[in-house]
């Protein structure tokens, strides 16, 4: 028997430590939370992706009474970016959320498993890491790559 471990390195930055590009992306992710359709959970999520040419595309969670029919903010943004700009790779994604009271979360949130898998595919298509910024008012978690969020991932190499 052999014991192994997985290690994740990430940075926690404050807003004043972000680059101009990161701040622009964060602002758009926060704005996207206001376009959320969340009449059931009242939990509004916004995501913004920056493409390799600097274009920013955003999305928000869209709920439905038939719960599986809704879609997370991250997938909304990624799918829109791919359908609108199919030849431009994603450089980074930022995710922000508001609680049931409408306040931005103090602690950052992370993408669900389905979103992680979709983002992994986008990263593989881009052939370079997609940086992840997870926003919370107390700090922004900065992760180098989607693969860091999805260790031991299932990808096209298994097909």
**Residue written as token pair 């299932």:** 154
Of residues 151, 114, 115, the one with CA closest to residue 134: 115
Helices (H), the chain: 20-32, 73-84, 113-126, 146-149
User: Model's pTM, two decimal places?
Assistant: 0.94
CATH class held by domain 19-139: alpha beta
Please tell me the distance from the alpha carbon of residue 46 to that of residue 14, in angstroms, as a whole number: 19
* CB neighbours of residue 159 within 10 Å: 5
Residue 101 annotated among the catalytic residues of the structure:
no
Please identify which of the residues 74, 121, 123, 131 carries the catalytic annotation.
74
- Per residue of the chain (159 residues), what is the pLDDT tens digit? 999 999 999 999 999 999 999 999 999 999 999 999 999 999 999 999 999 999 999 999 999 999 889 999 999 999 999 999 999 999 999 999 999 999 999 999 999 999 999 999 999 999 999 999 999 999 999 999 999 999 888 888 888
């Amino acid at each position: 028997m052999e014991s192994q471990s997985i290690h994740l390195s990430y940075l926690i930055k404050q807003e004043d430590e972000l680059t101009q590009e990161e701040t622009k992306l964060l602002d758009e992710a926060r704005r996207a939370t206001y376009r959320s359709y969340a009449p059931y959970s009242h939990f509004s999520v916004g995501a913004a992706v920056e493409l390799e040419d600097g274009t920013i595309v955003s999305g928000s969670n869209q709920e439905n009474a038939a719960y599986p029919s809704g879609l997370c903010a991250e997938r909304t943004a990624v799918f829109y970016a791919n359908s609108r700009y199919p030849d431009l790779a994603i450089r980074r994604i930022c995710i922000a959320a508001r609680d049931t009271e409408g306040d931005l979360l103090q602690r950052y949130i992370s993408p669900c498993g389905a979103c992680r898998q979709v983002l992994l595919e986008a990263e593989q298509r881009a052939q370079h890491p997609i940086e992840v910024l997870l926003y919370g008012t107390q700090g922004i978690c900065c992760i180098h790559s989607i693969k860091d969020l999805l260790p031991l991932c299932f990808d096209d190499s298994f097909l």
